Structure 1
């Protein structure tokens, strides 16, 4: 989509001075009411609502106060229906207060902040009753989400339908910029084209515990500028700007800009006499500053010290009008934490709550009734009319009904020869383009610069690489180049830099397009399995926020062997078992990959959908070991078992022991069963594809869940209950619970130490997951 498509005029023609003054007065009234409502919600939750347990409820009145002006100007003057906003976590009461004034939140919810079933501690798309565009709360993740939302929106536009126009705003606390995920996103090469991305930094120079001593605003500006962003600082309000124009004003400006953060914050706690003593400093221009502030009365002087741009509605509005929509923009708004509250500027005000006396004092200042705190503006009040006009302007069209996306369950092909589960991923995607092209058009793959090493080369050659504009492939005529990097708007693979948090942030937003614009995508993120842990927190948060996606970790485990311990994943099978909103699979054979992938795709892009995690391997395995039934009904039975969590791979007559294996270690399990049979010991061999689904089935059987438990009867029938040996290329506790189904003795083999480099035989032997170890464990556990 061309850049010009995202250019949008967000300002009306200037009105007369009288109209501007009247609108500004109404806006200031709304600003005060938003401050009052956000403060009152937190006050009620902590000081009014009964709390029989005595457990801290909490809230962040000071963090809300520093955002009130920024959000008031944005919502009531500049936002348009197509815009989306990510609100910093601790400012959630400000968002709810604004939605209440806009008429989209019922009054009954204002007393439910942080209450079960009520308003969430931090903005939540899935749990809050009012409009929330992005879930936030995990620092750095909510801030970057609109970047990936912008990319997802453009992708939808170029593939399945028009989403309209709009900016993607992030309201970010300055301490949030400490998170590495923020800069990983800002520095990704593809971000420079996203002119609809706007960040507004609440530069209050405080973190949770202290005034941050070395926040250098100019350094932050240069970092954004170096990444190609438009930088708009909003440093001072109208009062200070007027003082800067007087004799001595230049000296005052320089003094404030060069003053250490803690020194400035201390001024906010001073009396007027103390400010007159401290503000001039000891520099060569201190006399000029003293002479200037001597012309001010006490109230004006104290107001001037607090007159930062992030609290000046006119300065903020002017900044919003400067956004040029041709590149990402950051507005750095200087603010005071706790602005307008008795706690403003206090170094420990992050979680401080107003006392009842302070709350009533605030009520008197704002002319509000502390006993009836939830009043809206009257319809004929200028502020009420402005609220009504904003509500009408911000109305969005309903999300259209979701289209039917037909995902096949079986391609009908049985893999032959020797192959890997990693290679089966690429083949399955190519088969999907042939057998279900309509569904395949909604698939989008994402990788952090590992497409070729994760066997996506054939898929990328087939569908191309997504880019907002078509780019020339300078290697198209190179006969030795096997992987063709054709970048065009119709491409279906998105390549990012080597930053796993960016990858999962993007697939989370690609997986949320069904709920934003009624256009489901089927996003698949592919990365090295050891780095799933690095990506887990933002991916988990994306699932919480409603983003449904498939994460593929490959290659995995100590089966990597020669790669060494640094690239061997141990805990990821347990992660798959424990991650909410996600079905995890570790297929052993190519056919298992096909079936589990298709089942996972069918669960994406719908209100009751789930994400999936596939853990794949680069170990070549003889595909005939899968013993796929030839009979169609038996094949379908096997497929249902694979998708449900596992299947009996071999039944050994009157079995004396059960070997339960997963993924790459199934060949060792079968070899161990052969060895045991030679000793006269029959063994059942079970292939587990999803420990998580089996655990849910076991919970359901015990009455602790609503899922189906039929798979347990087919895997672990009571008449075949025998001592059990479990083995996997991962932590042994992943499968340990299976012995509890029939309450049998068990030995659990796996990897619980950091890996070692070596051959496959050496590494398996080192960790005790080789055939000899399985046989020994089986013999030891027999009566």
Structure 2
């Protein structure tokens, strides 16, 4: 629906005094946000020649919306995602609320200061969502709402939450992540969700030619959202109600965006002529003849997103049984000399213009950070600061994840199937831990071996749903949906999956309820999900993502379902450990170690690369002695272990394998032995951790150095050099760093080209990672 100021509500439900107070605060926020950017660019010494930047115009268009929320509407229970380029406005508001010390106002984009874009973990003031990633940050509030619903349904002591609000720029609606999230069926039930679109009709480079708001409105409505449009403010609506007003409105609404923006830049005495054009109706000419140039200039800038009274009325019109989007028309750069200019995105107003803005804001430019003068505005800031102050979060009591579960792994099994067993074992062996696990999948739960877990725990849904197949005796996978399940199934949209994963992984810090979120996705689609998953980690969401099946090992699936460079992605992702265990026991140990690190202060995320290839478990050669078995476990969770037990001093070549390829590596060692060559076998569970071990060598004060048993030295004793052959079902450069461990000659085998459908033996031979290729590479390094 479109909310327009009718004659009956032109004064809004706010009194004139209340609107005047909010307008004074809005003007101060405009000044502070602009001054912060000005200080960052002109007030600090810059010897690098690299611009500091900032977004005065983008902040300005959003300020009235933000002031109407923070100083009138929000409660301490609400959570708000703010568009990236309005970061200075958010910090200015937090300062006025008493949530940000004045010393930070000069530190925008400076080390230890205010971040360029809102950062939940790095900014010193209250930031609910990190939003530097356009589109992803906007949807974060949606997934946080779902995350809160989940923990509240599972744990009754979960703190209360209010609305989950996203303030996004209209250009963000170009992002596919937005529409994947909007279209998910579960979202239509989230009545606590409110999006407000800053419809300033400009992107970074241009005035958007055709914003097609009606099309966007229809897309939201089709997904079950309530749509509210705030197009015009009360001042210009008063003109619309006069004779000729209908014609004025029609002319302005028919005007292309570029023409409207150009009109904003024209001298005031030209505005009427631009509206009239060459063949204006007589009624429109008569109306404009009775309006002064100053009045008309004010009126054409009076859009719904700048009418604070209209905005507060719109919030009361929200239907809390479904999500709502408000399209609030604004002017980019509103209140600044650059308003409406097509190149104002990163433009700085001049120092002379800053002085004019200071005068308009009632600020002494020599004291740019002076507080509001005593009066209603200062009183409201103080009162709202108290209202919005949040209670401290009480964390979940510590839950100890066991180091092992004790299952004997004897029969051939894949790591993917072992994952399913581990999760079901967890419900029996460690129920307190299992209660905190929540699994997610994009419609691939059964094919990634989550079926047993789902049968035990059920599927979580926003609302209870009837299971029409409950009486079907032939059904293997039970699909009982309700608010007490522990698996969340989304559509085939990996971006949605990992966005939800990030918010489930942040519940420990948002609500004090620890979760251990685990998602399964086909490994080739990890790159598709990487950016939003990385965003979630950056924002403090700890989680475990499992890519399976991986590599070319699922040979019949062909090149479309084969992953090549995902091991490098895992190794390079900050605040994440990448794992690729070969055997079921390795998976159990490493997965439990990963779970221990999720949902806790100082924790970390993990990425597991698993496969559907069953491996003979006796190849793991597990020690029978309890002490040696524990030593193996410690090595496995540190990154790898030696499978051969000969003296490394006798070793002529070292074979290093990862994951599914281990049978070929072991067979190659046996083949070399038959030729009188002693080959050591190293099984890496985490090339990532071994690289870290290598890279921190010699680092003063490193924990590993203090312990004296860093894993890289265990696997590759420095005094026993030997050529190295590395083999993995992934890009060979992943392990190339091992050449630097001891300065050994190295040959890296792996997958570096697209595959094709084949059987397993043919696939390994095609990519040169079969036993013969390993033997050949070893002999080559030995000069044979």
Quickly say closer, same or farther: Cα 1:115–1:17, change in 2 above 3 A.
Answer: closer
Note if 1:300 corresponds to 2:295. yes
Equivalent in the alignment of 2:462: 468
From 302, 322, 341, the counterpart of 1:346: 341
Equivalent in the alignment of 2:416: 422
Equivalent in the alignment of 1:128: 123
From 174, 177, 195, the counterpart of 1:181: 177
Note if 1:32 corresponds to 2:27. yes
The whole-number CA distance in structure 2 between the counterparts of 1:86 and 1:17 is 26
Q: How many residues align?
A: 767
From 632, 638, 641, the counterpart of 1:638: 632
Note if 1:754 corresponds to 2:754. yes
Quickly say closer, same or farther: Cα 1:703–1:336, change in 2 above 3 A.
Answer: same
The whole-number CA distance in structure 2 between the counterparts of 1:432 and 1:169 is 37
For residues 591-636 of structure 1, the C-alpha deviation after alignment (integer angstroms, 9 at most, x for no partner) is 1111111000000111100000000001111111111111111111
From 213, 218, 235, the counterpart of 1:239: 235
Paired residues of 2:507 and 2:515 also in contact (CA < 8 A) = yes
Quickly say closer, same or farther: Cα 1:278–1:286, change in 2 above 3 A.
Answer: farther
For residues 370-428 of structure 1, the C-alpha deviation after alignment (integer angstroms, 9 at most, x for no partner) is 221112224x4100111111111111111113311121010122211111000011100
Paired residues of 2:147 and 2:507 also in contact (CA < 8 A) = yes
Paired residues of 1:726 and 1:747 also in contact (CA < 8 A) = yes
Q: Counterparts of 1:676-691 in structure 2 under 5 Å?
A: 676-691=672-687
Quickly say closer, same or farther: Cα 1:503–1:17, change in 2 above 3 A.
Answer: closer
> Per the alignment, in what secondary structure is the counterpart of residue 641 of structure 2?
strand
For residues 643-676 of structure 1, the C-alpha deviation after alignment (integer angstroms, 9 at most, x for no partner) is 1000001245521100000001111000100111
From 560, 569, 593, the counterpart of 2:554: 560
CA shift at 1:345, angstroms? 0.2
The whole-number CA distance in structure 2 between the counterparts of 1:343 and 1:151 is 40
Question: Could you tell me the TM-score, scaled by structure 2's length?
Answer: 0.96
Equivalent in the alignment of 2:489: 495
The whole-number CA distance in structure 2 between the counterparts of 1:572 and 1:24 is 55
Note if 1:44 corresponds to 2:44. no
The whole-number CA distance in structure 2 between the counterparts of 1:631 and 1:483 is 39
From 688, 692, 695, the counterpart of 1:696: 692
Equivalent in the alignment of 1:311: 306
Runs of 4 or more, structure 1, over 6 Å off, are 16-19
CA shift at 1:282, angstroms? 5.0
Specify every segment of 5 or more residues in structure 2 that has no aligned partner in the other structure, as ranges. Answer: 1-8
Paired residues of 2:24 and 2:377 also in contact (CA < 8 A) = yes
Paired residues of 1:697 and 1:707 also in contact (CA < 8 A) = no
Quickly say closer, same or farther: Cα 1:732–1:720, change in 2 above 3 A.
Answer: same
Quickly say closer, same or farther: Cα 1:143–1:239, change in 2 above 3 A.
Answer: same
CA shift at 1:250, angstroms? 1.1
From 159, 181, 205, the counterpart of 2:154: 159
The whole-number CA distance in structure 1 between the counterparts of 2:693 and 2:612 is 30
Paired residues of 2:271 and 2:293 also in contact (CA < 8 A) = no
Equivalent in the alignment of 1:725: 725
The whole-number CA distance in structure 1 between the counterparts of 2:59 and 2:101 is 20
From 517, 531, 535, the counterpart of 1:523: 517
Paired residues of 1:700 and 1:707 also in contact (CA < 8 A) = no
Paired residues of 2:13 and 2:309 also in contact (CA < 8 A) = no
Equivalent in the alignment of 1:118: 113
Paired residues of 1:232 and 1:332 also in contact (CA < 8 A) = yes
CA RMSD of aligned residues (A): 1.4
The whole-number CA distance in structure 2 between the counterparts of 1:432 and 1:555 is 22
Q: Counterparts of 1:191-202 in structure 2 under 5 Å?
A: 191-202=187-198
Question: Could you tell me the TM-score, scaled by structure 1's length?
Answer: 0.96
> Per the alignment, in what secondary structure is the counterpart of residue 545 of structure 2?
strand
Quickly say closer, same or farther: Cα 1:717–1:78, change in 2 above 3 A.
Answer: same
Instruction: Identify the range of structure 1 (608-617 vs 312-321) with the bigger mean alpha-carbon deviation.
Output: 312-321
Equivalent in the alignment of 1:364: 359
Note if 1:279 corresponds to 2:270. no
CA shift at 1:216, angstroms? 1.2
CA shift at 1:704, angstroms? 7.6
Equivalent in the alignment of 1:89: 84
The whole-number CA distance in structure 1 between the counterparts of 2:718 and 2:582 is 25
CA shift at 1:713, angstroms? 2.2
> Per the alignment, in what secondary structure is the counterpart of residue 165 of structure 1?
coil
CA shift at 1:365, angstroms? 2.1
The whole-number CA distance in structure 1 between the counterparts of 2:739 and 2:379 is 67
From 657, 660, 668, the counterpart of 2:656: 660
Instruction: Identify the range of structure 1 (259-268 vs 327-336) with the bigger mean alpha-carbon deviation.
Output: 259-268
Equivalent in the alignment of 2:98: 103
From 429, 445, 454, the counterpart of 2:448: 454
Paired residues of 2:12 and 2:309 also in contact (CA < 8 A) = no
Quickly say closer, same or farther: Cα 1:628–1:243, change in 2 above 3 A.
Answer: same
The whole-number CA distance in structure 2 between the counterparts of 1:702 and 1:347 is 54
Paired residues of 1:414 and 1:628 also in contact (CA < 8 A) = no
The whole-number CA distance in structure 1 between the counterparts of 2:756 and 2:12 is 75
Paired residues of 2:65 and 2:311 also in contact (CA < 8 A) = yes
> Per the alignment, in what secondary structure is the counterpart of residue 650 of structure 1?
coil
Equivalent in the alignment of 2:206: 210
For residues 552-586 of structure 1, the C-alpha deviation after alignment (integer angstroms, 9 at most, x for no partner) is 00000011211111111111000111000001100
CA shift at 1:305, angstroms? 1.0
